[in-house]
Amino acid sequence: MRAVRMETSRVFVLLAGLTLPATGHAQDWAKIEVKSQPVAGSVHMLTGGGGNIGVLVGSDGVLLVDSQFAELHDKIAAAVGAIGTGPVRFVLNTNWHYDHVRGNELFHKSGAVIVAHGNCQARMVREQFHEVLDVKIGPYAPAALPEITFTDSLVLHVNGEDVEALHIANAHSDADVLYVFRKANVIQTGDLFFSGGYPYIDIGNGGSVAGMIAAADRILAMAGADTKLIPGHGPLAGRQRLQEYRAMLVAVRDRVAALIKRGRPLDQAVAAKPTADLDAAWSGAMSPEQFVKLVFMDLSRREP
């Protein structure tokens, strides 16, 4: 596969939007609006130009889950300030992709402590290749790197809330973490769950379709009827939407696997449109063709 070294700003857009070609325009940051909405208790959700941000406010200061883009720092800070006062003390990362963590650096320089899984640290210090997007991305600035890392789990006690971090291995990538706000009954899933479209799965860096289905099962086992889910991308959701998401993943996996078993090459599998009846509900930043290609590549390489 040809590795393409792209202008950095365009790569950011691809990771956030996935459908823009390499010749597309760089993101117009001035036009992006950062919006907030209450979730439960003292937890809020911010949407903007990248992955959703979780916000926990209180007398101890502010805890963020993810940081989106440095270009949106002032807008994010203003949205956080409208929710609650106090410094941003912690930034917890759900994964290491640019649309979730490129804002780390400026928050760190303002005094925030960055927390992530150990594999995030390992990946952020070196150049990365995104197989499905066919792009390379350079290392992060040292100030963007996590200062606290963990292997399996961690609990932070902030603002009267117990925030539990759980590593979910080999699903969206090999470095994903979900965060459970125990008292508020909120789970921030990161890119383990896309509530508004087909997911990007980083199959070149430890992710897999099977792992995403297993992750959905694990979250479903944790979530009750009233649990609020902050997805990596898409609107605030609940258990039912996650069940629908899991069913979609299983259906696409099984259909693409059947095409592989019949000896169909990639172009014919895409042309067969195995997601046609699902596209109305799941087409989003990642096109159906991109998602079928991703699933095909993942399943093909796992064939004996």
pLDDT at 258: 98
Query: At residue 292, does pLDDT exceed 80?
Result: yes
**Domains of the chain (ranges, CATH numbers):** 4-255 (3.60.15.10)
Query: At residue 25, does pLDDT exceed 50?
Result: no
pLDDT at 15: 53
**How does the average pLDDT of the chain come out, rounded?**
90
Q: H or E element: which one contains 291? A: helix 288-301
Query: At residue 199, does pLDDT exceed 60?
Result: yes
pLDDT at 303: 54
Residues 79-92 have a mean pLDDT of 95
Query: At residue 16, does pLDDT exceed 70?
Result: no
Q: Position 295: which residue type?
A: V
1-10, 85-94, 115-124, 171-180: least confident range:
1-10
Helices assigned H by DSSP within 161-238: 209-222
> Global pTM?
0.91
The tokens for 60 are: 């101890």
pLDDT at 26: 54
Burial annotation 59-76 (CB, 10 A radius, 16+ → b, else e): ebbbbbbbbbbbbbbebb
Q: Which residues are CB-neighbours of 39 under 8 A, at least 6 positions away?
A: 45, 54, 184, 186, 228, 230, 236
- Condensed to tens digits (0 to 9), the pLDDT of residues 101-113 reads 999 999 999 999 9
| CB distance 50 to 68 below 8 Å | yes
- DSSP designation for 68: B
Q: What's the rounded Cα separation, in Å, for the pair 255 and 173?
A: 23
pLDDT at 20: 33
75-84, 125-134, 275-284, 287-296: least confident range:
125-134
Quickly count: other Cβ atoms within 10 Å of residue 6's Cβ: 17
Residues 163-170 have a mean pLDDT of 97
pLDDT at 95: 97
High-pLDDT (> 70) share of the chain, %:
90
- Condensed to tens digits (0 to 9), the pLDDT of residues 115-165 reads 999 999 999 999 888 777 777 888 999 999 999 999 999 999 999 999 999
3 state SS of 17: helix
Query: At residue 7, does pLDDT exceed 80?
Result: no
pLDDT at 18: 45
